[in-house]
Amino acid sequence: MLNFKILLAKKIKTSLQLLFVSTLLIVNIYFAEFIFPSRSINTGSTSSPQLTVLAVQDEQGSDNNLNTYIKFKASDKQYLSIFKFNASSIANPTILKSEFHANSRGPEKFVESRKFQLFNNSEKWLSIADNLNIQNELRSSDINSSIKDAGQFINNDHSNALRYKTKSSVDKNQPGYFAFVINSSRSNSTMDTSGLTGGTTVMPRTTTGSRRGRWQPVPGLKWQIQYTGTLDTSLKVDVYNIDLFDTSTAVISELQSKGKHIICYFSAGSYESWRPDASAFPASVLGRKLDSWAGEKWLDIRQLNILIPIMQARMKLAADKGCNAVDPDNVDGYSNHTGFPLSYNDQLVYNIAIANAAHNLGLAVSLKNDVDQIKDLVNYFDFAVNEKCFQYNECNTLIPFISASKAVFGIEYNLSDSSFCSQANAMNFDFLKKKLSLDAWREPCR
């Protein structure tokens, strides 16, 4: 078993560099946390899907997917809605910087002025942003406002309130993304170290030679995947895919000292009763059991406000351990019997939120299986990990990754290597034949 006590001996020296110091010292740790709307109070009526759509920045330009934004309807010739943001995980911090980000589609400011206001401790609404830079009828992420004296907006219940309003009634007001990014520092003498569920994310690290500050796996890399048995660290491969929870920081450091890149596996779409953070999953998100896997249940991925903080904490653990990438599994629940009425779009929203959370930590992220959504997700994920695409005759769906110079790491369990390896090599895939137990044994195609 691993020791999952959070390493309190890291201090960010600059935004690109970490300085390690003794855990016996009282040090400051700098955090960047993304906070999304937890509930809304509408004085005007709205027609919308779940509020959680505002936690995912998934449209741009003239995109107009009705399931990815909230459409406001006029009430008394205006729009008015109040959104609550839960900031409980940054109780008693030193807030260094706070920014508000929004993605919205609607008319330009001269047609309809839209204002974003925060409620301060003096019980006044103060304007923090408007739609000055928004182009007519284009969805934009240009609303990006730094907030001065951010602590004045954190209430006694560790929440803040955002008011979104207009004074006219043009019926084309479509917010798609609201988030606060709060940089804060805490002393390790006061920081909560009880587990993996705080929902706070450490600031992203960068990796030399990476794309946008992170590692980019490319086709042609030699790799190994092993989740059971004693890990064989002697292989002459470029990449190891290993279990996030069951692999120690020391082993990861050893492999990286040999020039290996590390992909850390966890399940993002299922509950596993044996994991150390299993108690963080309320019964309301647990669905049907996965076939043939004892102690594992599908998750209701529509409940982003519950699941994304848990997954952020897991990916923070991966970043702390030094993983270069994460491999979130079971991200195709919508096409399985989960016990929940999950839609195609529910899965897209969840998967994009997972990818964004990984990237915010400087981690590359794989799309595991979920082949029918590759066309919509390839731009959000850095590489693919696939199981049995040759057995199921669905490998052509993976070609967009290769076209984007992103690696496709694949596994076949039941076919003979002579029946698929030549085709995998011709498609520039990096495939292995493995046992279903995913122990050390491997037969590489190239």
* CB of 264 closer than 8 Å to CB of 325: yes
CB atoms within 10 A of CB 46: 16
Q: Is it the case that residue 386 has pLDDT exceeding 80? A: yes
Please check the confidence at residue 79 and state whether its pLDDT lies above 80: no
- pLDDT reading at 256 higher than 90: yes
Angle between helices 249-257 and 304-321 (to 10 degrees): 50
The answer to whether 327 touches 264, Cβ cutoff 8 Å, is yes
Q: Is 32-186's fold the same as 223-444's?
A: no
Q: What mean pLDDT do residues 16-25 have?
A: 30
The alpha carbon of residue 23 and the mean position of all alpha carbons in its chain are separated, in whole angstroms, by: 28
Q: What is the mean pLDDT of the chain?
A: 79
- When comparing pLDDT for 297 and 158, which is higher? 297
- Sorting pLDDT into bands at 50, 70 and 90, what band is 342? very high
Distance CA 84, CA 255 (A): 44
Average pLDDT for residues 264-271, to the nearest whole number?
98
Phi-psi region of 259 (alpha: psi -120 to 50; beta: other; left: phi over 0): left
Q: What residue segments make up the domains of the chain, in order of their start?
A: 32-186, 223-444
Which pTM value belongs to this model? 0.60
Element (H, E) at 356: helix 344-360
Pairing relationship of beta strands 364-368 and 325-329 according to DSSP bridges: parallel
**CATH number of the structural domain 32-186:** 2.60.120
- DSSP assignment of 32-70 equals EEEE-EEEEEESS-EE-S-GGGGG-----BT---GGGS-
Q: Are 375 and 401 in contact (CB under 8 A)?
A: no
- Contact at 8 Å (CB) between 224 and 236? no
402 close to 428: Cβ distance less than 8 angstroms? yes
Q: Report the percent of the chain where pLDDT is more than 70.
A: 70
Give the distance from CA 150 to its chain's centroid. 25
Q: Which of 122-136, 186-200, 240-254, 416-430 has the lowest mean pLDDT?
A: 186-200
Query: 191, 111 in Cβ contact below 8 A?
Result: no
Confidence bin at 369 (pLDDT 50/70/90): very high
Q: Does the 223-444 domain belong in CATH 3.40.50.12780?
A: no
- In single-letter form, the type of residue at position 202 comes to V
Label residue 140 by pLDDT band (50, 70, 90). Answer: low
User: Residues 215-241: pLDDT tens digits?
Assistant: 999 999 999 999 999 999 999 999 999
